[in-house]
Chain A
């Protein structure tokens, strides 16, 4: 028996942790995961340095990022938006104030950067190993759905070009029923596609409008770089634009001039279309602060706008929830209270359930900021865009 073998064998005598030891350690990790403070271990000097470092970083973010907290304006948001019984227009007007107080991205550093969680749903996994695309539903014997998340990072230049990377993160069963279906299917391994290779892709500097999915027909003749200064004028021009897209729709032209004179059906179509355009303008990073303020006010003038109060998204972030009711959809928008950023969208699948009845959409805005450069992966990976 060698010294090394004795050394190795000696480890067999070390007992595993007791249940109490394991539980105490697990509780510390739980605290970290749940976001509650973990017992401090750093010296006071290191702690002080850390506090200074965090303060410097925070200050840097505030000074560099155009998405600044609105100060007094954000106080107005809290006063106007937290009470779901108050009119949505007041809350959105407060957000308009926050938006107008912000800085244009074009004045920032070289690139504007965004990180997005993109969760896609609807993958069908079949026991017979067939591709899931193009198979009639009747032919699928056992199937289940998995929600898969990708991390998308976007860099936008001042001249509205986009570079982006996309990387698979993981997936979960969409519902307990999907997990049960997977088990009934013999629990086939998901490792291959859950452990997505994480290859990055790039969008090779394409137009930001194209990347963010602007449909030219939505805006028509509107110049999105020079939007009207008032909500009323913006809505009127948007109605005109929609009317040109609805040549066979009764009363479309009259609707453009005066919404109140619209047939109900036409008004619904027009409202939905305008809602889509307004949301796009809020989401588009290069919308100017002034225009963003106008868009908020216009949103508050749409029929069916109501506050949901404070609502949490799938990442546990609390924001101000706005509900826009128009058949057949009840759309939900979630705004970051301090900055007015649109961080999540969804729809209310069960109005009786309140916020818990929200089905969140595919994209969650996770992080924004300025960047000095674009990673090479965003310029050299396999190209994709806008498929």
Chain B
């Protein structure tokens, strides 16, 4: 086998810089030949994914969905298309599809969204004590959640990926496989709908929470 000159180029380009762990993208690429490398991805993102899914379903369901997200991601790692260094958009994309699939099954069972009514964090008792301690806030949050449930699915998904998963507009576009402009308009519509549903909140304060051109909300 001839030695590819690109390896020589790599040598010539070899430079040391301080810091920086391997990016998610590099880990995923490496996992194609060293499957063990994928375990690091789990350690990096499982908790965050679990919390997002727990917030949207229950802690019991979240465990199953988050575990399934990683096993699916592992099986599909050869088809991974990097978006920046982070795999979060990709993982949340898989998780979102699993949520949709589960919602479809629940609807067929005739008991899905009704279960969610009134609950804020978990509904299977795991967070009962914590919820009780926040009884005063419960009413307000129930209204908030009710308003969120009233959003169209596409708008709700975009809004919650922004609010709970901390994805940028561009990352949400990747996760939902749609143009960034569509994400922007979906979130704008979602926020308008929330404001209409909860008129006691001050709409004048909302403008500064919208990021500019897809930045993360905390970096906007």
Contacts and interface: CB of A to CB of B under 8 A. Distances in A.
Contact of A195 (B6, B26, B39, B54): B26
Given A7-B159, A8-B217, A32-B75, A385 B2 contact: yes
A147 to B, nearest CB: 11
A189 B159 CA distance: 36
B1 A362 contact: yes
A93 interface: no
Interface string B30-68: 101111111100100011001110110001001100111
Contacts of B18: 186, 188-189
Interface in A1-49: 1-8, 10-11, 13-17, 21-22, 24-26, 28-33, 38, 41
A103 to B, nearest CB: 25
A384 B203 CA distance: 61
A363 B10 contact: no
Interface stretch (A115-123, A251-259, A292-300, A372-380): A115-123
B51 A363 contact: no
Interface stretch (A67-75, A129-137, A240-248, A267-275): A129-137
B1 A118 contact: yes
B121 interface: yes
A25 B70 contact: yes
Interface residues of A, number: 75
A63 B32 CA distance: 27
B10 A196 contact: yes
A185 to B, nearest CB: 8
Contacts, number: 224
Contacts of A362: 1
Nearest to B82: A198
Given A4-B206, A387-B2, A189 B30 contact: no
Contact of A386 (B2, B42, B51, B209): B2
A272 to B, nearest CB: 18
A16 B38 contact: no
A106 B8 CA distance: 34
Nearest to B194: A3
B114 interface: no
B75 to A, nearest CB: 7
B10 A118 contact: no
Contacts of A201: 4-6
A148 B4 CA distance: 12
B132 to A, nearest CB: 13
Contacts of A129: 15-16
Contact of A384 (B6, B15, B39): B6
Interface string B70-103: 1100110000000001000000000000000000
Given A8-B164, A211-B2, A3 B55 contact: no
Given A14-B51, A29-B38, A193 B13 contact: yes
Given A11-B55, A149-B33, A169-B32, A132 B14 contact: yes
Contacts of B23: 191, 195
Given A6-B140, A189-B18, A195-B25, A387 B38 contact: no
A186 to B, nearest CB: 8
A188 B17 contact: yes
A190 B38 CA distance: 18
A18 to B, nearest CB: 8
Contacts of B30: 149, 169-172
A226 interface: no
Contacts of B2: 211, 213, 385-387
A8 to B, nearest CB: 5
Contacts of A315: 33
B6 A24 contact: no
B120 interface: yes
B10 to A, nearest CB: 5
Contacts of B195: 3
B183 to A, nearest CB: 15
B20 interface: yes
Nearest to B13: A193
Nearest to B147: A3
Given A24-B63, A189-B16, A195-B26, A11 B32 contact: no
B119 to A, nearest CB: 12
Contacts of B159: 4, 7
B3 interface: yes
5 contacts: A4-B206, A120-B7, A151-B32, A172-B34, A201-B6
Given A151-B32, A170-B30, 15 more contacts: A13-B134, A14-B55, A15-B54, A17-B46, A41-B68, A123-B10, A129-B15, A129-B16, A131-B14, A150-B6, A170-B33, A170-B34, A191-B23, A384-B4, A384-B5
Q: Give 3 closest A-B pairs by Cβ, nearest first.
A: A188-B16, A170-B30, A25-B67
